[in-house]
Structure 1
Amino acid sequence: MTIQILHNPRCSTSRNVLAMIREAGLEPEIIEYLKHPPTREELVSILMAMDASPRDILRTKEPLTKELGLLDPARSDRELVDAMLENPILIERPIVITRKGARLCRPAERLSEVL
């Protein structure tokens, strides 16, 4: 099974999900999205696989989110995606992508939905 994880090694939930994947006997492609952010096409594709909107993966507790006014419900999906592409720290993690779909694995137990 091909499996990818948008990962931040500094995040305990992201580290836990990576460990759970490995405990399942799989070795994922690890994408450190802060170093290698997704392209617009990749991010939109992930959102489509999740059946989610950009707001669903926005890190609401990240100070930059408030600073940029991204919590305003009037902000469009395009504006949120633009902000995430410019500032990948705004993307919630970890996101796991498999042939079964993509999930924001927060809480980590959501991993089972795509394994």
Structure 2
Amino acid sequence: MTIQFFGYPKCSTCNMASKLLRDSGVEFVYHHIVEDPPSKELLKEMLDTSNGDLKTFFNTSGMKYRELQLKDKLPTMSEEEQLALLATDGMLIKRPLVFDGKQLTFGFKEEHFTNSWISK
């Protein structure tokens, strides 16, 4: 699978991450996370690949997260409901979100990002 990069053009962190990939010659497909968020099925595949906690997918510091009071609602929502919610609004997803079918990263910490995507 080609590397899928979900970012937001006005996000400086996303811009730094995509620039690092481009400057390092890493090919990827850029998706505007608001206009083209990952589907519920792709999010489920990401979750299964990461063996992680679905809460880590949420942008907990985002305005939308706070506006929807998800801190209180997520514990009572099923995995299916959470995936459906994430798929409807890319601003709820922690970004940048990078996935290649085997590996998944959230956010941008340069050393971790470099080890995950550039030093392969």
Normalized against structure 2, the TM-score is what?
0.81
Unaligned stretches of 5+ in structure 1? none
Q: Higher RCO, 1 or 2 (CA under 8 Å, sep at least 6)?
A: 2
Q: Which runs of 5+ in 2 are unaligned?
A: none
Aligned counterpart, 2:98: 96
Q: 2:79 aligns with which of 72, 77, 80?
A: 77
Deviations 1:59-79 (A, max 9, x none): 112222123221123333333
Q: Quote the sequence identity (%).
A: 27
Matched residue pairs, number?
115
Shift of 1:99: 5.4
| Preserved contact between residue 40 and residue 86 of structure 2 (Cα < 8 Å) | no
Could you say what secondary structure the match of 1:80 adopts? Answer: helix
Deviates most, 58-67 or 86-95: 58-67
Detail structure 1 runs of 4+ shifted over 6 Å in the superposition.
none
Q: Which of 81, 106, 109 is 2:108 aligned to?
A: 106
Q: C-alpha root-mean-square deviation of aligned residues, in Å?
A: 2.0
Give the counterpart letter for 2:34 in structure 1.
L
Post-superposition CA distance 1:41-63 (Å, at most 9, x none):
01111222222222102111222
